[in-house]
Amino acid sequence: MKFLPLAHALASRQDLPVPAWLFAWGASIVLVVSFFALAAGWRSPRFERLHERPLGAVVSRVLLGLPAQVLCGAIGVFLLGLAVYAGLEGTEAPDRNFALTFLFVTCWLGFPFFSAIFGDLFRPFNPWRAIGRVAGTGFRAIAGQRAAHAPYPERLGRWPAAIGLLAVVWLEVVYGKGGVGFDPHTVAVATLLYSTYTLAMMAVFGTEEWCERGEVFSVYFGMFGRLGIFGTRDGRLERRRPFSAATTWATIPGSAAVVIASISSTSFDGGQEGAFKDGIENLTDWIEGLGFSLTTSLRLSGTVFMLLVFAGVGLIYLLGVRGMRTVPGAPSFAKLRVGFAHTLIPIALAYLVAHYFSFFVFQEQAQFTFLLSDPLGTGTTDLFGTAASGVDYTVLTANTIWYVQVGALLAGHVIGLMLAHDRALVYWPDYRNATASQYWMLAVMVAFTCFGLYLLSVANG
C-alpha cells in the first residue's frame, strides 16, 4: 500500500490542454476583469454590516445550551487525550498512528476548510478552552469568587498566535523534514507541552481572552470561521452574510501577521520540494560546510527559507498598502495595514485548499477507516472492522487536482479583491479614489495568484 502521510502534494504530472503557466495568465485576466466589474458596479460598502438573521430560539438553545457545550468540550478533550495516548503508546510508524493524521490533517486542515463555510467550528470543541472553563467554574465554586486575571497587554495582540502558528508549521515541515525527528511520540510530547503552556496562559489572562488573542488554534481556525455563514451573538446562533464577519477580525494588533504567517507557511511547504528546493539544498550544503551535522543544516536552512518566505509575503502586502497611501485622501499607513489585512484571509484559505486539498481527501480515507479502527497502529485492534482498509488514490485524477487548485486560487483572490474594494469604499467616500487605491491591491492579488500557481506547477511537475 502506498501511503505517504507527510507528502503534502502528490507529485503527479497532469495532462493539460495548455501549458500550466497559461492558467496564471488566464487567472490574472479574470482578476483584472473582476476588478473593473467591481469598480463599475459596486459603489457602496456591503460587508461592513453582518446582515445577521437570528436562527430560531429552539435551534440556538439546543446547539448553544449547556448540554451541547459540555458534550462538545468533552469530545474535544477525549480526542486530544486519544491523540496524545496514541502518540505515546502507539506505533512509531507515522502512517499507522492515529495521532499524526488526526492532529495534522483532520484538525489542522479540516477545521479551516469547514469553518470557512459554517463559521468557527473549533470553538465548541476546543479542548483547552473546555478545560479552562471547567477549571474556572471549579475555582468559583471553591473560592466563591471569580479568578482574578492579569490584563492582557494590548500591544501583544495576536502576536503570540502568529509566532505559535509559524512554530507549529516549523515543527511539521522543518523540524520533521524527511521524517527525521517527526514521529508520533515527539508530536505527543509537543502536544503536552503546548497544552501546559496554553492552560498556564489561560490561568494568567483568562480563558476567553487567551483564546481570542494568543491561543494558536483558536485564532487560526477562528480567522477562517469569519468567512462562514454562521456565528453567535448574545448567546444566539445567527446566519450572516458570507465574509462579512471578516471585516472586523483584524482590528487586534498582530492579526495581519497571523494571516501572513498562514500564507507564507503554506507557500514554504508547497515550495520546499519544488521552487525553493535548489536554494534550500545550496544553503544546507553551505551550513554543513561550516561543520554542522546534516540534520542541523537541513533544519537551519529550512528555518531561514521559512522566515524569508514570511518576510517576502509580508513585503508584497506592505507594498500594496504603501501604494494605497499615494492615493489622495488616504488614511495613515498603519490604518491601511490593519484595515486591509482581512482581505488576505480568503487567500490564506485558497492557498490551503490548493496545496492540501488532495492530501486531505486521501488522508481522511485513512482517518475514517484503519486509523479509527486501530488508533495505536499495533495491528491488534479492529474497533469498527475497517483496520484492513487502504487509501484509494484513484479517487482524484491529477487533472482534477489541478483544476481544483486553480479554481481555489482564483476564487480566493477574487473574494479578496471584493473585500478590499468594499473596504476601500469605506476609507475613500469618492468611489473613483477608492478604485484608484485598489489598483495596488489588484497587483497584490495578481502577484499572489501567479506565485501560488508557480509553486504548484513546480511541485506537480
Partner 1 sequence: MLPLAHAGHYALWVFYALPVFVVVGAIARSAILTRRAERDGKTPES
Give the largest Cα separation in the chain, rounded.
71
Asked if 32 touches partner 1 (CB under 8 A), the answer is yes
With CB under 8 A as the contact rule, the residue among 160, 164, 231, 323 that binds partner 1 is 323
Q: Which is nearer to partner 1, 424 or 453 (CB)?
A: 453
Q: How much helix, strand and coil, in percent to the nearest 5, is found in the chain?
A: 70, 0, 25
Asked if 457 touches partner 1 (CB under 8 A), the answer is yes
Other beta carbons within 10 angstroms of residue 356's beta carbon come to: 21
d(CA 327, CA 435): 10
Binding window for partner 1 (CB under 8 A); candidates: 17-25, 37-45, 92-100, 392-400: 17-25
Q: Which is nearer to partner 1, 86 or 313 (CB)?
A: 313
d(CA 247, CA 227): 9
Nearest distance from residue 184's CB to partner 1, in Å?
Answer: 34
Per the DSSP assignment, residues forming a β-bridge with 232 are 237
Other beta carbons within 10 angstroms of residue 32's beta carbon come to: 14
With CB under 8 A as the contact rule, the residue among 196, 326, 381, 399 that binds partner 1 is 326
d(CA 113, CA 11): 22
DSSP secondary structure letter of residue 170:
I
Across 120-157, b (16+ Cβ under 10 Å) vs e yields bbbbbbbbbbbbbbeebeeeeeeeeeeeebeebeeeeb
Binding window for partner 1 (CB under 8 A); candidates: 23-31, 224-232, 362-370, 421-429: 23-31
Asked if 36 touches partner 1 (CB under 8 A), the answer is no
With CB under 8 A as the contact rule, the residue among 28, 101, 272, 297 that binds partner 1 is 28
Closest-CA residue to 290 (of 301, 278, 279): 301
Asked if 350 touches partner 1 (CB under 8 A), the answer is no
Nearest distance from residue 454's CB to partner 1, in Å?
Answer: 4
Report the number of secondary-structure helices (H) and strands (E) in the chain. Answer: 19, 3
Asked if 393 touches partner 1 (CB under 8 A), the answer is no
Nearest distance from residue 451's CB to partner 1, in Å?
Answer: 7
Nearest distance from residue 340's CB to partner 1, in Å?
Answer: 16
Residue ranges in contact with partner 1 by CB under 8 A: 19, 21, 24-25, 28-29, 32, 275, 278, 281, 323, 326, 439-440, 442-443, 446-447, 450-451, 453-454, 457-458, 461
